[in-house]
Every structure is written in C-alpha cells, then in structure tokens.
Amino acid sequence: MASLPETIARILRTNPDALIACHVAPDGDCLGASLALAMACERAGVRAVVGSADGVPETYRYLHGSDRIITTPPDHQFSVGVAMECSSLERAGTFAEALTRCSTLINIDHHLSNAGYGNIVYWDTSAAAVGEQVYGIIQAMGTQITPEIAQCLLAAIVTDTGSFRYPNTSPKTLRLAADLVDAGASVHTVVERVYETRSAASLRLIGRALNNLTISADGRIAWTVITPEVLRETGALPEDTTGIVGMLRQVRGVKVALLFEVTPAGIRVGIRSRDAARANVIAETFGGGGHKGAAGFTMPGPLEDVIARTLAAVEKELAGV
Amino acid sequence: MASLPETIARILRTNPDALIACHVAPDGDCLGASLALAMACERAGVRAVVGSADGVPETYRYLHGSDRIITTPPDHQFSVGVAMECSSLERAGTFAEALTRCSTLINIDHHLSNAGYGNIVYWDTSAAAVGEQVYGIIQAMGTQITPEIAQCLLAAIVTDTGSFRYPNTSPKTLRLAADLVDAGASVHTVVERVYETRSAASLRLIGRALNNLTISADGRIAWTVITPEVLRETGALPEDTTGIVGMLRQVRGVKVALLFEVTPAGIRVGIRSRDAARANVIAETFGGGGHKGAAGFTMPGPLEDVIARTLAAVEKELAGV
C-alpha cells in the first residue's frame, strides 16, 4: 500500500493544477511548506497557486515565490486543493470556499487539534513542522530539492522549532535540516530574517516592558504591563509585543509569566508557563484557551482588577503543582 | 597514518592519567568538551581531572561531573595534559604551569588564533565547536557515548552555534547533534539552561539598555550605554551585559551595534557588525581585537569622548563597505 506522502505525490503529479491555501495569520512553517510544495508541483509540470487570506508578513517576503502568493480567492476551479496546516477548513479564511470547490481536497497538518476534513488527511503530530511532511511528499514526487525549495522548507522547520530550541526537535528534524543545508539552504539566512530584523521601536518596547517587570514575592510569577501610552511613546506596533512574555518566563524560578496589554478590545492577557504549570488551565478560567505552555484570554478592565483576578488564578494553578 | 583524533585517542588510552584544562572564563563549549573527554577517559580506565581556573558558571553546573572540576592546580604530575580551547597556553590561567609539567601536552582548539604550542596540535577551524573535535576523539577511543557524555557534547555544540543559529553551523554539526540526541541528549535541556534561566535583575538591565537605545541618523549604527548607576538600580551584575549588544544588532538596517559600559577599568566598548562591516577593524583602531562580526576594546573616558571617537571610527569603516 502506498504511504500517504506517496498517495499525495501521485495525486499532485496526475492532476493539471493545485490550489495550496495557508491558514489565516500565516507563519513561516505554513508559508515555507506551501511555497516549497508549489515549486515542486511546477517542476513536475503541474500549475500551482499559493493563497493566503492574510497575505505574507514582512519577515517571510524573502522566500522564493512569496511575491506570487494571491490574497483573493480565484474564480478558477482547481482540480486539487491543499489545506496547509489548517486545523479546520475555516482556518483557510477566505480561501475555505475555493478549497471545497476542488475535485480533491488534501488536508496536511501536524497540530493536535486537526478536524479531519478533506478527501485525503495527512495528519502527523510527530512532525516538528508541516515542512517535514511536505519534504516527504516532494521526495515521493521524485522532484529535485532545489536551493529555493530547500530554503523554504528550512524556513518552515526553523520557525516551528524556534531554530531547534523547542522540545519538538527530533533527531529526524536535525538530519532533515542537514539535508536541506546540503541542498543549498542556509540556517543563518532564515534566522537573520526571522529573529534578527526588528524595528528600533520594537526593541524600545521590549526595553520598557522588561524594565517594568514585577516578580511575585515567592518568585514564581513574573508580569509586566503594556499600555497604549507605552506603544505611543516607543513608536512600536501592537504586533511588536510578540515574544515579550516568553522573555519574562526566562527568569530563574519563574513558573508562570504574564503580559497584560491594555487594548481597545479590553485587557489582553498572554500566559507562558513551564514545568508542571498549565497556561491553558489558567486561561480557561476566563474563557480563553491555548496549550499547556502558552495560552491567553481577553477580558474587560479595569487593569488592576484583571491583574488581581489573573494572579489569583495563577496562584490556584501553582498550588496544585 | 593515524588521524589526529586517533593519535590523541591512543595517547589517552595508553597513559595512566590526564589533566584537562579549560580556558579562563570558560564557556559551555570548553566545559562540555572537557567533561565529555574526562568521562570517556574514565570509562577507558584512565584517571582524568578537569581543571578550570575560573570555576564553573552557574549556567553549566547542571553538566554531569561539573561538581568535580578543580579550580586549584594539582601538585600531582599528570602524564597527559590537554589544553582545551586555549589559543595560547596562558589562556589556561593558573593551570598553564601544570600543563607544561605533563609528559605529553595536547592542544585542541578550533579558533583561528591558536598559537600552535604543545606536543600534539589538533587545530581544526572548520569545527563549529571544540566539542565536535572531542566527539571524534571519543569515537576513536572506542568509548560508548553515554547519555551524560552526549549531553556534555551537545551543550558544547549548542553554546558555540547559538543553538544552530550562527553561520558556523554545518550539515555535519546538525547530523552530529542528531546522533547526540539519539544517544540520549536533549537540545531543550541545554537551551533551558543556557538561554532561559536569567535573573530578574538581568532582564531589567536589558530593559534599561534597550529603552535607552540610540540609532544614528542614517540608521546604520545603534548604541546604548550602561553605567554603574544602571547596574546598581537594576541589581544586575557586570556579566549580565552579555548578549545586549547582539540584540542591538537585530535592528533592521543596523550594520554596527555598540555597547558602551562604564567600568572602573575605563569605558569598555563591545562591537557587533553584520554584512560587510568589520567589527575587528573598528576595535583595532583603539588597540582592541576580535572577529569580523564581534570585537571590542577598552579605553579611558570620559564617556562622551569615547562615544564620539568610536562613532567616527565606525563611520570610517562604513564608508568603505
């Protein structure tokens, strides 16, 4: 019996065209995997179009082919649709409907929560990145891994493993990365783009957030606050808060880190935890959600009440661990 | 003819004891490689002692055997001495003299600047970490890579490659890391220790430094200042400044980043550059040195003069690139 990568490779090779759709708010894994698969299709003589409802973030515009990603669903009916890393069809955003119109719908994902839709479901939670899965498909297609394909797949893997820092990094992941470097990709180039191209304003924002760090008396909780005034004074954008709560969790002894952002929609609370503390359990107390190590919720202010109620929920979670 | 790793393996195996000395201010590469080699010697029935003139930084005390590292040179005369990652014998600090008393002195290093001392010089600038070289020696010794040895070697490699982010990361490095994970090591454990265990004071120091960031009018130079007052107010230690100048270099468009630290010895200037700009050329103007991407120097104040003279030297370097 053919493996799933082989089955998908055969379907792609024997159809005239394919629409590959990213999830909304696309990341490097989803974009890199989609672009790599599209390039492999084109090399095999199959017309392939990559769609992203939310476009391409600045960070990933250096990836080969990213300038040809479409943001408006096409009228054309594609024979094959690929939902890339979309836990549900809705995650493809405005491209969901175009995917359902394809004769064959392929669902490729490595997240725990995939809904199992589509004609072919290639769901592998052991993969560190969906780029790992796509690498297998491209190999099964018999397509040469060009330097451009290698760079896109490496971007996928580096993004989803935090450049090999997350626990999902397996020996297989490291060997795959080695193969991609042999094929012409560069880890350093990906890292330069993903981790080393910030605005001065975003660094000043990190500075303000870290300088205002508070640690609980027992040293197990760290938190900081970002107000619209801080954003205005530093010139930073709301998305520049990414990564700050993770930095707070770096403090020795801290089990739960919290970032309180005052936004027009309410107080947005980002939670990161380590060891036995469960971020998702804390978030669920307030109707939010996420993973064990990273979760969040939004609730109305005032700020002081939200901080007090959140800290109480964290204390409760820490009492049980 | 035997390779250098084979020759060193034979010498270690056929002698009764070995003193393995780290360089002063030891890092994870030097410590991890030394501890791994010592464990391999002991498994081969060779008594091995690791010496570090400056002890073991907190970050690396989780490494197996680090509690047995000696900080005072022994009276005992060892048959084999290993200078681990010491560009000159003096870099072994107070252990330099004990190394010279050994019957056979082995010099293992991967830095460009090694002085070539010792009876056996195993100098490999293509190695991303001295841990890569030691891995080859342990393989040549025929010793099993235990989980403890694997973890020490992985700590060496992760430290010197910035967890596979630096350009020195080769396919060989990635495959070696995969082998070490297969042997029982965990990248995540190393990263947790090296990158995710900071003091709250050190985060506040980063906060102050980033918040006071200055960018030149043309956007190509970023700098900040750390004074003794900032250290006092944040409660941070002088070594907590590590990594700050690298963060400044992350700003989009910045070619040269500078950190000015006001210390009792004068103004210490850390330089990081990217693309064609050469940090070492800037540092050499003031009698300092380093690599193309990272260099530094110290000169007397006042601070304003040092900043002005350094910026002039940076402008001169940037004019040529």
Q: Output the domain CATH number for residue B262.
A: 3.10.310.30
Q: How far is the C-alpha of A305 from the C-alpha of A311, rounded, in Å?
A: 10
Q: How far is the C-alpha of A313 from the C-alpha of B134, rounded, in Å?
A: 49
Q: Given an 8 Å threshold on Cβ–Cβ distance, is B171 in contact with A179?
A: yes
Mean pLDDT calculated for residue range A45-69: 94
Query: Closest-CA residue in chain A for B257?
Result: A200
The burial class, CB within 10 Å (0-12 / 13-18 / 19+), for A312 is exposed
Residues A72 and A110 in one domain: yes
Residues in chain A with CB shorter than 8 Å from the CB of B177 are 164, 174
Alpha-carbon distance B277 to nearest alpha carbon in chain A (angstroms): 16
Q: What is the CATH number of the domain that holds A43?
A: 3.90.1640.10
Q: Given an 8 Å threshold on Cβ–Cβ distance, is A174 in contact with B174?
A: yes
Residues A37 and A24 in one domain: yes
Residues A238 and A172 in one domain: no
The verdict on whether omega for the bond into residue B26 sits within 30 degrees of 0, i.e. cis, is no
Q: Given an 8 Å threshold on Cβ–Cβ distance, is A207 in contact with B203?
A: no
At position A31, the amino acid (one-letter code) is L
Residues B101 and B233 in one domain: no
Q: Which two tokens stand for residue A103?
A: 């004769």
Residues A173 and A240 in one domain: no
ipTM: 0.81
Domain boundary among A148, A175, A195: A195
Least trusted range by pLDDT, from A254-263, B35-44, B231-240: B231-240
Shortest CB distance from B210 goes to which of A181, A206, A248?
A206
Q: How far is the C-alpha of A286 from the C-alpha of A220, rounded, in Å?
A: 21
Residues A173 and A254 in one domain: no
Residues in chain A with CB shorter than 8 Å from the CB of B191 are 165
3-class secondary structure per residue, chain A: CCCHHHHHHHHHHCCCEEEEECCCCCCHHHHHHHHHHHHHHHHCCCEEEEECCCCCCHHHCCCCCHHHCECCCCCCCCCEEEEECCCCHHHHHHHHHHHHCCCEEEEEECCCCCCCCCCEEEECCCCCCHHHHHHHHHHHHCCCCCHHHHHHHHHHHHHHHCCCCCCCCCHHHHHHHHHHHHCCCCHHHHHHHHHCCECHHHHHHHHHHHHCCEECCCCCEEEEEECHHHHHHHCCCHHHHCCHHHHHCCECCCCEEEEEEEECCEEEEEEEECCCCCHHHHHHCCCCEECCCEEEEEECCCHHHHHHHHHHHHHHHHHCC
Q: Given an 8 Å threshold on Cβ–Cβ distance, is A252 in contact with B215?
A: no
Q: What is the pLDDT of residues B111-162, one digit of tens each?
A: 888 899 999 999 999 999 999 999 999 999 999 999 999 999 999 999 888 8
Q: Tell me the pLDDT band of A318, cut-offs 50, 70 and 90.
A: very high
Q: What is the pLDDT of residues A260-302, one digit of tens each?
A: 999 999 999 999 998 899 999 999 999 988 778 888 999 998 9
Domain boundary among A195, A223, A251: A195
pLDDT of residue A267: 97
Mean pLDDT calculated for residue range B11-37: 96
Residues B161 and B93 in one domain: yes
Q: Tell me the pLDDT band of B197, cut-offs 50, 70 and 90.
A: confident
Least trusted range by pLDDT, from B93-107, B146-160, B184-198, B234-248: B184-198
Q: Given an 8 Å threshold on Cβ–Cβ distance, is A203 in contact with B248?
A: yes
Residues in chain A with CB shorter than 8 Å from the CB of B174 are 174-175, 177-178, 181
Alpha-carbon distance B17 to nearest alpha carbon in chain A (angstroms): 35
Query: Closest-CA residue in chain A for B184?
Result: A171
Alpha-carbon distance A246 to nearest alpha carbon in chain B (angstroms): 9
Shortest CB distance from A174 goes to which of B177, B212, B222?
B177
Q: Given an 8 Å threshold on Cβ–Cβ distance, is B178 in contact with A181?
A: no
Q: What total of structural domains would you count in chain A?
A: 2
The verdict on whether omega for the bond into residue B302 sits within 30 degrees of 0, i.e. cis, is yes
Report the relative pairing of strands B120-123 and B256-263 from DSSP bridges: unpaired
Mean pLDDT calculated for residue range B79-86: 97
| Residue that is written with structure tokens 């210490």 in the block | B268
Q: Pick the closest to residue A83 from A115, A45, A46 (CA basis).
A: A115
Mean pLDDT calculated for residue range A28-48: 97
Residues A151 and A13 in one domain: yes
Alpha-carbon distance A61 to nearest alpha carbon in chain B (angstroms): 14
Query: Closest-CA residue in chain B for A198?
Result: B251
Residues in chain B with CB shorter than 8 Å from the CB of A186 are 167
Mean pLDDT calculated for residue range B259-265: 94
Mean pLDDT calculated for residue range A210-235: 95
- Domain span at B253: 200-319
3-class secondary structure per residue, chain B: CCCHHHHHHHHHHCCCEEEEECCCCCCHHHHHHHHHHHHHHHHCCCEEEEECCCCCCHHHCCCCCHHHCECCCCCCCCCEEEEECCCCHHHHHHHHHHHHCCCEEEEEECCCCCCCCCCEEEECCCCCCHHHHHHHHHHHHCCCCCHHHHHHHHHHHHHHCCCCCCCCCCHHHHHHHHHHHHCCCCHHHHHHHHHCCECHHHHHHHHHHHHCCEECCCCCEEEEEECHHHHHHHCCCHHHHCCHHHHHCCECCCCEEEEEEEECCEEEEEEEECCCCCHHHHHHCCCCEECCCEEEEEECCCHHHHHHHHHHHHHHHHHCC
Mean pLDDT calculated for residue range A164-173: 89
Least trusted range by pLDDT, from B138-142, B167-171, B182-186, B290-294: B290-294
Residues A105 and A16 in one domain: yes
Q: What is the pLDDT of residues A105-140, one digit of tens each?
A: 999 999 887 899 999 999 999 999 999 999 999 999
Residues B271 and B232 in one domain: yes
Domain boundary among B195, B213, B245: B195
Question: Is the pLDDT confidence value at A310 over 90?
Answer: yes
**CA distance from start to end of chain B:** 46
Identify the sign of the CA torsion B100, B132, A250, B50. negative
pLDDT of residue A52: 97
Residues A216 and A187 in one domain: no
Residues A141 and A218 in one domain: no
pLDDT of residue B244: 93
Mean pLDDT calculated for residue range B74-87: 96
Mean pLDDT calculated for residue range A174-202: 90
Q: Which residues fall within 8 angstroms of residue A319, CB to CB, at 6 or more apart? A: none
